Amino acid sequence: MKRVVIIGMGFGGIRAARVLAGKGLDVVLVDRNNYHLFQPLLYQVGTAGLEQESIAYPVRAMAREWRGTRFHLAEVAGVDFPAREVVTGNGRIPYDYLIIGAGSVTNYFGLESVERHAFDLKELVDGERLRNHILTAFERAVVEPDPAKRRALMTFVIVGGGPTGVEFAGALMELVRYVLAKDYPELSVQAARVVLVEAFDRLLAAMPQELQVYTLEKLRAMGVEVLFNARVVDAEPERVILHDGAIIPAHTLFWSAGVKAAPLAATLGVTPKPGGRIPVEPDLTLAGHPEVYVIGDMAHLEQDGAALPMVAPVAMQMGTYAGEAIVAREKGETPKPFRYRDRGSMATIGRSAAVACAFGMKFRGFSAWLVWLLLHLYYLIGFRNRIVVMLNWIWYYWFHERQVRLITERVEE
């Protein structure tokens, strides 16, 4: 029986495993975490909207439903291509086919001080850590006698005007204005600032202009300060420095300005493309290694003159393709080249407000928000998770209340 090893249980790895299950192959799933994380909703953990457990699902619970699959909890250190073995901290795993989908990490573009002081959202623990920090900042503000320091504690700088930055800014502003304002009556919460910093002259650059304008108008109406053509170049615990020397007194810096391939990519001995991504053949295989597939954020593949974006839909389609390609090759068939089918993009701004572009149509407002909700519920793994998330959203919609306002770790600052 031939063995397929899948590195990474993200969106791509999960899809590949589903396709390969029950196909007469020995499928080994490898990840350093024992769960699949639904990363698009991680910002809602950071803004006290969802419990962290509701957006994660155990890999072993999935694997027991997939015939012929088993899971290894391990950190992958590299791949020995000549020996056809995956090198992990727990030993080596031989393979006949290998699918590499280790995902991406935050790209700070060499800004060491920013990397030290900024928060990001890539791992499940990041959401809980960010929530602890935000709530602790308000607790500290309550007892802070200096008005300037108190205002800095309630100032939040968000870098990056893409979907993550926009969604986090909207969710954070709603948390402050509708929830924390009631929790902290002794504070003038209206003085809290949420500042969204974007290096270019628009938000959601991949969307049509009218949706960009709607997003900007909606965020500003909510109270979010949007700074265009601005770059963060330095950071300290109590302030953020922009490229023009301007200083924003703030205790919280959130970075969503870019990602790069996971560190595993640098160990593969391949000359990387921008963002550390690995160039792949039209069938997603690694040049010189037709048994190795690279998928998701790690893969660099150009289509229609541009590299495919590092987003979940690309990873899902690549994962499905890689699984089907292996099955086809075992039948003696030659798979067709991979082609990504762009079904559109969307972003939520706040309660009853979102933007979406799909199949040549543009949506905004309540209809786009409803579509966003339904699609995210559909792609969540686990019936319980869907119910829990849906109930949290319903509760917040009707009562403007977020139940997960818990400081689960006290950090000395």
Active site residues: 167
Rounded to 10 degrees, the C-alpha dihedral 89/93/97/100 comes to -10
- What three-state secondary structure class fits 46? helix
- DSSP H or E stretch at residue 300: strand 299-300
Asked if residue 246 lies in contact with residue 110, where contact means CB atoms within 8 angstroms, the answer is no
CB atoms within 10 A of CB 35: 18
Alpha-carbon distance 234 to 250, whole Å?
Answer: 12
The structure tokens listed for 101 are 């989908």
Task: Convert 207-263 into a string of H (helix), E (strand) and C (coil).
Answer: CCHHHHHHHHHHHHHHCCEEECCCCEEEEECCEEEECCCCEEECCEEEECCCEEECH
CB-neighbour burial class of residue 308 (10 A; exposed 0-12, middle 13-18, buried 19+): buried
The structure tokens listed for 30 are 């490898």
Return phi, psi of residue 91, to 5°.
120, -170
